[in-house]
Structure 1
Amino acid sequence: MEDLRAFASAFPRFCDRNAVRVPGRGALPSLEGARPFEMGAEHLAAFRVDAAKDPDTLPAMLKQGPEAVAFYVSFRLEPDRWGIYLRERGIKALQEEYHRILWRDLGKYADRDIGDVAERVEYSLVLDYLLTHARFHFLVDRTAAAWEKEGGSALYAPYQETWYVPPAKPVAQRPEDIGNLEEALANLDAFRTYINPSYGEGVALMVDGKLDPRNVDEWKAFFIGGRFAVEMANVFSRQPPGWKDFSRFLNRKTSVGSTNYVRIQYSYSPDLLERGQKELARRIAGGGTPSPDNPFKEASPEMPNVYLL
């Protein structure tokens, strides 16, 4: 990954600490006590939070979305410790909420004690959501920085001022109508991971060999067949406007099974996604025509540095 630590000193006019905001938070929160978070596969598989959960986490997410737990700090604000910050006790609260959701459906299919495996599944789902969402904010920041260097005019702070708290509008029907489009697309990035069949199969395989084969099939059906996506869509939809508008990019298909069970499956619309990405690029560019036309269509960048608070 490119070294962005020198950006603030090289381009101070694009890095006004009184103007640049932390997405979803506004002012820069205290980073005291933050420590690097190892992103290696072995560490992620073993990661657990021993601290008690923060009971205010879920109510805070109704107002701040996932930024109540994980937030992105720009290289414009903290050149030597920019990246994604995870609140440890918030992760614990979210893991317990995921446990409640999963076991409401899957608890009856756990014919053996798989508490350790279940925790691994839950922490994996939580971290994937938080990190994927926050990484999108980095992509926006990096895109604006590249255009600022090329054009010589500040873009990121003016874009944030205009669009992070946009004027109220009627219910958004089109991507162009969404106020905080950045948060909607960040949530969509995470949700697209959740509805990816390969991702669901990988999660379900964690219990393979741990349960009766018939129960393993139920776990696979939950993640691959769409029931998990329905649960997560409900969770995301309780977040504020902008965050919850990720649903404007989705296709929702229902079908009725032989037992009158209504099955819901989600997919996303590539055309609507393209429109949303181009509209976000237009907003960052100040209403002009940026180049490249759609920087968000490319593969996501590497993960920024991650810290645990």
Structure 2
Amino acid sequence: MRHDDRQTYRRRKIGDALKRFREDLGLTQGAAGRLLERSQASLSAYENGHRAIRRRDLKHILDMYDVTDELVRKRLLSLAAQGRQSGWWHDFNERLEPGVLDFAALESDATHVRAFGAQLVHGLLQTEEYARAVISSSGTALRRTSQEIETDVKFRMNRQRMHDHQPPPEIAVILGEAALRQRLGGLDIWRRQLLRLVEMSERPHIAVQVLPFAAEVHPGSDGSFTVISVVPEGLLDVVTVHSMTRTWYVDEPSDVDHYLRTFDRLQEIALSESDSRVTIERIVSEA
């Protein structure tokens, strides 16, 4: 499949909205095509998320469908503009699953990232050797070659380019104490990873907090998650949850709000940033 034919999160969201607007008007695709003076095939491709749409074309369709809600229009037009941008992840088109590439594209455009990692250091803060140890021991590694694992490692390291964006996104990461104490890759690799965490936590755009074993029962017990704000002014927040075989996207406002409230609660329970830094340094010194 050509890259231009691949569905992405942005295209799916735009397509779902266009289909809903059309159906609200009681139009078939054929009738809508005649109204918009474009083929039914092209309209179908937009609605199915198989074709990128130009910002000006989307604006025309929204005008013709009489979509006047400024928040909705701004959100969709922002998604259209971002969805047509090229990025480093395109170099991995033939080697990684579309869902993985889609996640990187969303993450690269983020203004804010909020992440909870129960068992592992978050990918945006990993050293290369720690990332290799994580990926090599993961469930997906059981069906991947050593070359594919190295591709995954390279891809993960490329994701960290966002730290050099001007301005960089605001990143808040909460790590369970288990993520700090599990010596993945051996003592030396693990130690360097924790020192890297301390270093990264001193950057002004990164906040790292530790959720200690002694913490009360907390809502993060259900597992790790990441909330990505992908357009300016918080117009769209997306929750991503990873499994061994796929990435799940959650964007229903009520569901996203639940994750955001969960993250806020975890921040309240976790150690402060300064105490977290001291805790990480103490764990390293005790090894």
Which one has the bigger helix percentage? 2
Which of the pair has the greater relative contact order for Cα pairs under 8 Å at 6+ separation? 1
TM-score by length of 1: 0.28
TM-score by length of 2: 0.29
Bigger Cα Rg: 2
